[in-house]
Chain A
Amino acid sequence: MGLRSRLGRARDAWSTHLAPVWNGSSIDDSTWEGLTDALLLADVGVVTTDALVDGVRDRVGREGVVDVDGLLRLLKAEILARLGETDRNLALGGEPSVWLLVGVNGVGKTTTIGKLGHRESMAGRRVLFAAGDTFRAAAADQLSLWADRSGLTVVRGAEGADPSSVVFDAVAHAASRGADLVLADTAGRVHTKANLMDELSKVRRVAEKGAGTVTETLLVIDATTGQNGLAQARQFAEAVDVTGIVLTKLDGSARGGIVVAVQDDLGIPVKLVGVGEGVDDLVSFDPEEFVDALFASDVPA
């Protein structure tokens, strides 16, 4: 299934708000207002929305575009330009490689690890889970259930154990068994808690004390997140040097527009998208497909 059909709902939600734009044949003030509203309702945020609309307005004037179709083409191009042509592959190369998943509470870190483990083991890599969320009750149980589904091993510590030590042990275990990849879960934390962010930096450091190398630090962001997503990205990037974003729950009605702002503002690329509850519902982020999916079928013939 392509991203386009998976994103059906997000696209429908977005297109509802764009309807006033499509329905006008020529470009006037209400077109711009509709465009602005649509972007704001998609959680793109005031600053990025204004920049996008200004950019499109500028080009519409310069290039003499007079119809709504042309305008939408330019809008897509503007969004794509902001998403950039970044390398969105997940890096390997450690022995083992460690991918650390971080984020605020409830965004779907554990679920993402479950799906990612399945995906990477299907791709032929020997994957091991580190149950680094020692805070949330039964988080390790949840991860173990995911591991069982894909026949993977979990290294877990006692509840309340030091997450750094759990990750360290998992890396050692992986090295001794010749595993390629350690997927390390971490407890959700609100990015304003300095002590918890310090704890996370420590996990990141300790993960490389042994044989392992942290080749990806993925920030998981929930598609329903509003403008606080920027603050999250900024704080996590400062604490652990985030290499990519996983945008989850995009199968809901939320539009995930905050990632446009995050990439625009901080240059952190979206690498993966979560689009459902199934083990296969984690796909690579393709910006073109993403933007197309958001607009496709809505452009009047």
Chain B
Amino acid sequence: MFESLTNRFEGILRRVRGKGRLGSDDVDEFLREVRVAFLEADVHLEVVRTLQDRIRERAVGAELVGALNPGQQVVKIVLEELTEVLGGEAVHLPYASKPPTVVLLAGLQGAGKTTTAAKLARWYKARGRNPMLIGADLRRPAAVEQLRTLGDRIGVPVFSEPSDPVAVVRAGLAEAVRLGRDVVVCDTAGRLAIDDDLMAEVAEVSGVLEPHHTFLVIDAMTGQDAVSTAEAFHARLSLDALVLTKLDGDARGGAALSVKEVVGCPVAFASTGEGLEDFETFHPDRLAGRILGMGDVETLIEKAEETFENEQAEEAAARMLEGTFTLDDFLDQLRALRQMGPISSLVGMVPGMAQQMGNADVDDGRIDRIEGIINSMTPAERFDPDIVDGSRRARIARGSGTQAGEINQLVKQFREMRKMMKQMGGRGMTKKKGRKGRKGRKGGGGRTTARGPVPVDRKKGLSLPGLGDQASLPGFPGGGLDLLGDRPKG
């Protein structure tokens, strides 16, 4: 239902084709489409205006260089501006020097605070901490029971009592100290930002709790109201960051961008599913692509690389074609891909991928398992998976919580992939002698390390061992050798 920005630009592109630089009128035409895209993504109207101004400033008169057409150039500027707002770094959450580290969760009704509290506690627990949950939502019927059930499920104690929220957090903190818990996550009642009594209550809770981190839990589906909500909470609680929930749907999450721009709160975590493990630290650059629609980022990056990073891509390709590509490189690519959004949605967005994948069951859980397997390997095994024998396999399976069969499958497909690439490299050589020769020198040159000569280009496509035999993305040998080898220079 959402049109990607690139598609929106198509009509304008025909008109401005052949121009050396974009005039003010041209840019305005692009900006009208940018505005619609942002509004459909629920970016706040005022923020849309601010962004439009910034984009206009950079785009008018910008020289149209290289292989980027004007539309791509504008998309590039848009993306850069979005990234600028969102910031590139994941949020760092230091622990208190004197435990426990206290985290307060606030938000509107139904944003997902209780579930988030449990997910966050689980996240801390998985990092070797000893969290405790405090249930201070005494308003919603059975909210505390819900938290207790979730606490049981993740093996984290839950403190609550039927008194009042301030008394609960006071007693809860004492209990955490008594039990020696080093992280406390406090759930609070959902409220309307305009409800002064309830806002005063949560402010009082915050005063007693003196949290080290205060998170606003916000639904990715929220519309224009997100900014006033965040402002109201920020005024009372001084928010540190957002937790963006329900990001497993198709909501574009523009609300988070607005809140970052207006209130300055970055997104610390994203909740991407119903399972308590569907919770991760948020990588802000993902959201930019989501707001614009994945295809745009793909296209842009491909095109940009075509022009500006050709050299790097060629070096990466060289290594792939020589067969010195390792599981470490593969993991890098896998992570780069993950940054762009859930794999399940990527499949639909990358042209031709759905067909290539056939009915292979591609889900993020499976990618998680592959990542787990590779993470459980020693550097030597990643460099040369052929050394994985029965006892190594058993160790990897234990470490990654997978079955030996899955490891076999991954290794087998990785081997095939590498072989296939090597063959293709051979073909490329006969076809493009001169270039291959140069690549060969480079690849075989002095910079060889345990991981190989040069970093593999992270943004290129990849094929996915373990996800079906023919699984392949454009831009990767097998999916698009020509892109890497035979591309005309910009």
Q: Do A and B bind each other?
A: yes
Q: Which residues of A contact B (CB under 8 A)?
A: 9, 13, 37, 40-43, 45-46, 104-108, 135-139, 141-142, 144-146, 159, 190-193, 222, 224-232, 234, 249, 251-255, 257-258, 277
Closest to B107 in A: A106
In contact, A193 and B248 (Cβ under 8 angstroms): yes
Indicate the member of A42, A141, A190, A249 with the most B CB atoms within 10 Å: A190
Residue of B whose beta carbon sits closest to that of A38: B45
The 10 closest A-B pairs by CB, nearest first: A226-B223, A106-B110, A137-B149, A226-B42, A138-B146, A142-B142, A138-B145, A145-B141, A43-B223, A141-B142
CB-defined contacts of B60 to chain A, threshold 8 Å: none
Residues of B within 8 A of A107 (CB): 110
Q: Which of the candidate stretches B33-41, B282-290, B397-405, B456-464 sits at the interface with the other chain? A: B33-41
Contact call B225/A227, Cβ cutoff below 8 A: no
List, in ascending order, chain A residues with CB within 8 A of B229's CB.
224, 253
- Which residues of chain B have C-beta atoms less than 8 A from A137's C-beta? 145-147, 149-150, 153
Beyond A138-B142, A141-B142, A253-B225, whether A45 also contacts B40 by CB under 8 A is yes
Interface hits, B97-115 → A, CB 8 Å: 108-112
Q: Report yes or no: B108 in contact with A252, Cβ–Cβ below 8 A.
A: yes
C-alpha spacing A229/B246, complex, angstroms = 13
From A136, A226, A232, A277, contact of B222 by CB (8 A): A226
Tell me if A192 and B110 are in contact (CB < 8 A): no
B221→A249 contact, CB < 8 A: no
CB-nearest residue of chain A to B39: A46
**Do B224 and A43 touch (CB < 8 A)?**
yes
Contact A252 B110, beta carbon cutoff 8 Å:
no
A107 to B221, CA, bound (A): 11
* Interfacial chain A residues near B149, Cβ < 8 Å: 137-138, 159
**12 sample A-B contacts, Cβ–Cβ < 8 Å, listed by A number:** A40-B45, A105-B110, A137-B149, A138-B148, A142-B141, A142-B143, A145-B141, A159-B149, A192-B249, A225-B222, A227-B41, A232-B221
| Contact between B221 and A253, CB atoms less than 8 A apart | no
A253 to B40, CA, bound (A): 20
CA distance A218 to B41 in the complex (A): 26
Residues of B within 8 A of A41 (CB): 45, 224
B225 touching A43 by the CB < 8 A rule?
A: yes
Closest to B219 in A: A106
List the B side residues contacting A190 at CB < 8 Å.
Answer: 246, 248-249
B250 near A: Cβ within 8 Å?
yes
Known contacts A107-B110, A253-B228, A253-B229; A228 and B146 CB within 8 A of each other: no
Closest to A41 in B: B224
Q: Is the interface of B mostly helix, strand, loop or mixed?
A: loop
CA distance A146 to B223 in the complex (A): 29
> Which residue in B1, B153, B246 is a CB contact (below 8 Å) of A230?
B1
Give the residue among B36, B141, B219 with the most A Cβ atoms within 10 A.
Answer: B141
20 additional contacts (CB under 8 A) given A227-B41, A253-B229:
A43-B42, A104-B221, A105-B112, A106-B112, A107-B110, A136-B146, A137-B149, A138-B149, A141-B141, A190-B249, A222-B219, A225-B221, A226-B223, A226-B251, A231-B1, A231-B251, A252-B194, A253-B193, A254-B223, A258-B223
B 366-384 to A, binary, CB cutoff 8 A, 1 in contact else 0: 0000000000000000000
Q: How far is the CB of B312 from chain A (nearest CB, A)?
A: 35
Tell me if B14 is interfacial: C-beta within 8 Å of chain A: no
Contact A145 B142 (CB under 8 A): yes
Given known contacts A138-B146, A142-B140, A227 and B112 CB-to-CB distance under 8 angstroms: no
Is B255 close to A, CB under 8 A?
A: yes
CB within 8 Å for A108 and B110 given contacts A137-B145, A142-B141 = yes
Within 8 Å CB of A227, what residues of B?
39-42, 223, 252
What is the distance, in angstroms, from A208's C-beta to the closest C-beta of chain B?
Answer: 27
Quick check: A253 and B194 within 8 Å, CB to CB?
yes
Of B145, B146, B221, B228, most A-chain CB atoms within 10 Å: B221
Nearest CB in chain B to that of A37: its residue? B45
Q: How far is the CB of B7 from chain A (nearest CB, A)?
A: 16
